Amino acid sequence: MKLIRRFFRLIFKIILWFFILSIGFTILYRFVPVPITPLMVIRLWEQAWDEKKDIRLTKDWVSMSKISRHMPQAVVAAEDQKFLDHWGFDMEAMEKAWEGNKRGKRIKGASTITQQTAKNVFLWPNRNFVRKGLEAYFTLLMELLWSKERIMEVYLNVIEMGDGIYGIEAAAQTYFKKPAAKLNRSEAAVIAAVLPNPRRWNPSRPTGYIRGRQSWIMRQMNNLAPVGMGN
């Protein structure tokens, strides 16, 4: 019995510390830049073991006031058109994805910008039930403790935008030789177009497929109400 009590006491302490640390870091990141993410560490490890690659980590945190207003509009159009209205989950998109998967169809993921930010900041990229559960937990935390503008700011600063390139400022400087504040609608749309696979596609050398996505995103940007973030 004593061994069982010790076991449950240990489990209780682990759970308690998990909640303390997770809530604490979520509150902290509401105010300070995220210094590094699990994905950045994973990519650095992969680069270190690949003799053909140089170790590269390019990122430069910028506030929303230094990001073109076209960029949040573009990622909302491309990734999550209900971003301003939901509480972290797009239930309609999730239902469509679930029904499509049951029929054996490959449906575009239903992850919202908040879910993607939770995954990028706190978790690892693999897909399994544990990670998805933690993703839902951190998504709720962020929606409760952060504003929509802060979620967008963090998303645009930590998202992978190329091999060793993270955040919109690094992407703007690398691909268009200009700061994120100076990106125009077309440039913002083509960056958003490559986000599903940023290590495969290059915004400065778009394929025909990416050009098609860029055009679609720009049409969606015209149809959406202004997101109202950025300069």
Q: Map residue 161 onto helix, strand or coil.
A: strand
- Whether residue 101 has pLDDT greater than 90: no
Question: Could you give the CA distance from residue 147 to residue 87 in angstroms, rounded to a whole number?
Answer: 11
What is residue 91's predicted lDDT score, i.e. its pLDDT? 77
What is residue 1's predicted lDDT score, i.e. its pLDDT? 73
Question: Could you give the CA distance from residue 122 to residue 227 in angstroms, rounded to a whole number?
Answer: 25
What is residue 183's predicted lDDT score, i.e. its pLDDT? 98
Containing domain of residue 114, as a range? 59-223
Question: Could you give the CA distance from residue 8 to residue 222 in angstroms, rounded to a whole number?
Answer: 56
* The CA-based dihedral angle spanning residues 141, 145, 147, 149, taken in that order and rounded to the nearest 10 degrees: -70
User: Within a domain: residue 186?
Assistant: yes
190 against 126, higher pLDDT: 190
- Residue showing tokens 């309609």: 92
User: Within a domain: residue 20?
Assistant: no
104 against 62, higher pLDDT: 62
User: Within a domain: residue 18?
Assistant: no
Find out whether 52 and 137 touch, Cβ atoms under 8 Å: no
- Domain harbouring 135, CATH code: 1.10.3810.10
179 against 126, higher pLDDT: 179
User: Within a domain: residue 9?
Assistant: no
Count structural domains, the chain: 1
Find out whether 190 and 206 touch, Cβ atoms under 8 Å: yes
User: Within a domain: residue 46?
Assistant: no
Mean pLDDT for all residues in the chain: 91
Query: DSSP letter string over 107-122?
Result: ------HHHHHHHHHH
For the segment 1-30, the average pLDDT, to the nearest whole number, is 92
User: Within a domain: residue 161?
Assistant: yes
What is residue 97's predicted lDDT score, i.e. its pLDDT? 61
Helix, strand, coil percentages in the chain from 3-state DSSP, rounded to 5: 60, 5, 35
What is residue 133's predicted lDDT score, i.e. its pLDDT? 94
What is residue 90's predicted lDDT score, i.e. its pLDDT? 80
Find out whether 40 and 57 touch, Cβ atoms under 8 Å: yes
Radius of gyration of the chain, Cα coordinates, nearest whole angstrom: 19
Find out whether 167 and 161 touch, Cβ atoms under 8 Å: yes
User: Within a domain: residue 145?
Assistant: yes
> Could you give the count of Cα atoms lying within 13 Å of 225 in the half-sphere of its Cβ?
5
User: Within a domain: residue 40?
Assistant: no
Question: Could you give the CA distance from residue 64 to residue 157 in angstroms, rounded to a whole number?
Answer: 9
Find out whether 89 and 115 touch, Cβ atoms under 8 Å: yes
pLDDT (tens digit per residue) in 58-100: 999 999 999 999 999 999 999 999 999 999 888 776 776 666 5
Q: Map residue 209 onto helix, strand or coil.
A: helix
Find out whether 151 and 114 touch, Cβ atoms under 8 Å: yes
**pTM for the full predicted model:** 0.91
Pairing of strands 160-162, 58-59: unpaired
Find, among 155, 119, 147, the residue nearest to 134 by Cα: 119
